[in-house]
Amino acid sequence: MASHTVTPPKAKPAGAQQPDTPGAAGPQNGRVAAAGLRDQRLAAAGAAQAPSEQAAQQLERALGALYGAAIGSALGAPTRFLSPAQISAQFPELEGFIPITPQDLVGQGLPERGLTEEIEALLTLGERLVDGRDQAGAPAAAGRATRRALAGADQPEAAVALLGVPLGIAAATGRATGIVEAVEEVTTPGEVTCIATAGAAAVAAAVRAAIDGATVPEALAAGCRAAELGERRGRYVPGASVAQRIEWSLQIVGSCDAARARRLLHTLVGTGAQIQEAIPTAFSLALLWPDEPWRVCLEAALLGGASDTIAAVAGAIVAAVSGTAGLPPEAVRMIDRAGGHRLDDLTRSLIDLR
């Protein structure tokens, strides 16, 4: 590949600005509430010792990554496997979390009912990383279920790549080689596929770069570099290049308006559960709405397909740039109620692994 430069989109969608809270609160109140929530989190993190300004900023962005992933997964769960036409018919005004019944195809995922299965897997891997370092001073091996997920089949699901979020927070370095090695450290040699390695490395590198202060385009470029290296590692399975599909997708959405970009992501890039479809689409959505983590999660939900995973990846990257201040405070509180502040505790522990 000649270059990893990412060009911002020419136009953003017309229409009203997304409210700061899922529901009714206006922008001013939403910003004040978000700032208060952020200050509380940073104060808690610095209970033992006031962190440096840089450390405090990194913690805030890391919190954004985990909360962005959890919020995105919850928003996308009700529309998973649906087409845009079905979504439009069933949810004509999709603006926030949707109550769903046990009879629904996706009978889990909303904060009122607990965290989604893929977010639980993400948190479990993060906790295993922390426990392993605490007990042995070395990276923790993933559990059997996580290893099976990372190993995947010939076409591994994109949810595997979402495990790159905690890896990106905890990685000792942001270099592509270090990111790929971090992915390999939590797997059994010979099990993980080249496609799964590339997908997880792409997400981990983008999240790590964003936490370290990169812009969204810079973070996406870092993800492309890590994917390119990652697909040379691991057990070979046939499949399209993750890195090249990410670059190609970013070029497509960077040269057209948002409405056309939505159509191309659905019909050309793809919203399937394969890593080569869902991860390029998630990266492209992040490029389209680099300053709006809530909006990017909603846009992913409206695409259907692997909407929960796509929204989680896009939400993690964009919110890792904005921090939790970019997320609606009520959405953050709903995730806290579902997870019992588990995300806060885990984020601080993962940051300490660096």
pLDDT of residue 271: 96
166-192 per-residue burial string, b: 16 or more CB within 10 A, e: under 16: bbbbbbeebbbeebbbbbbbbbeeeeb
Q: What is the spatial distance between Cα 352 and Cα 162, in angstroms, rounded to a whole number?
A: 21
pLDDT of residue 16: 38
The number of beta carbons lying within 10 Å of the beta carbon of residue 1 is: 12
pLDDT of residue 112: 45
| The two structure tokens encoding residue 32 | 């004040």
**Burial, 49: exposed, middle or buried (Cβ in 10 Å; 0-12, 13-18, 19+)?**
exposed
Give pLDDT tens digits along the chain (354 positions): 444 444 444 434 433 333 333 443 443 444 445 555 555 655 555 444 455 899 999 999 999 999 999 999 999 988 998 999 999 898 887 877 775 544 443 444 444 445 888 898 899 889 988 987 544 344 444 444 444 445 444 334 788 899 899 999 999 899 999 999 999 888 766 678 899 999 999 999 999 999 999 999 999 999 999 999 999 998 899 999 999 999 999 999 998 999 999 999 999 999 999 999 999 999 999 999 999 999 999 999 999 999 999 999 999 999 999 999 999 999 999 898 888 788 999 999 999 998
Q: Are 165 and 316 in contact (CB under 8 A)?
A: yes
pLDDT of residue 338: 82
Rounded to the nearest 5°, which phi and psi values hold at 80?
A: -60, 135
Q: What is the spatial distance between Cα 23 and Cα 21, in angstroms, rounded to a whole number?
A: 6
| Residues 6+ away with beta carbon under 8 Å from 346 | 66, 123, 126, 127, 130, 166
| Residues 6+ away with beta carbon under 8 Å from 69 | 119, 122, 162, 165, 312, 313, 315, 316, 319
Q: Are 167 and 133 in contact (CB under 8 A)?
A: no
Rounded to the nearest 5°, which phi and psi values hold at 22?
A: -75, 90
- Helices 307-322 + 194-211 axis angle, to 10: 30
328-345 per-residue burial string, b: 16 or more CB within 10 A, e: under 16: bbbbbebbbebbeebbbe
The radius of gyration of the chain's CA atoms, rounded to the nearest angstrom, is 18
Q: Cα dihedral sign for 52, 40, 219, 15?
A: negative
Q: What is the spatial distance between Cα 231 and Cα 312, in angstroms, rounded to a whole number?
A: 22
Domain 51-91+113-352 has CATH 1.10.4080.10: yes
| The two structure tokens encoding residue 180 | 């790929």
| Residues 6+ away with beta carbon under 8 Å from 46 | 56
Q: What is the spatial distance between Cα 45 and Cα 31, in angstroms, rounded to a whole number?
A: 21
Q: Are 271 and 265 in contact (CB under 8 A)?
A: yes
pLDDT of residue 93: 79
Q: What is the spatial distance between Cα 25 and Cα 155, in angstroms, rounded to a whole number?
A: 43
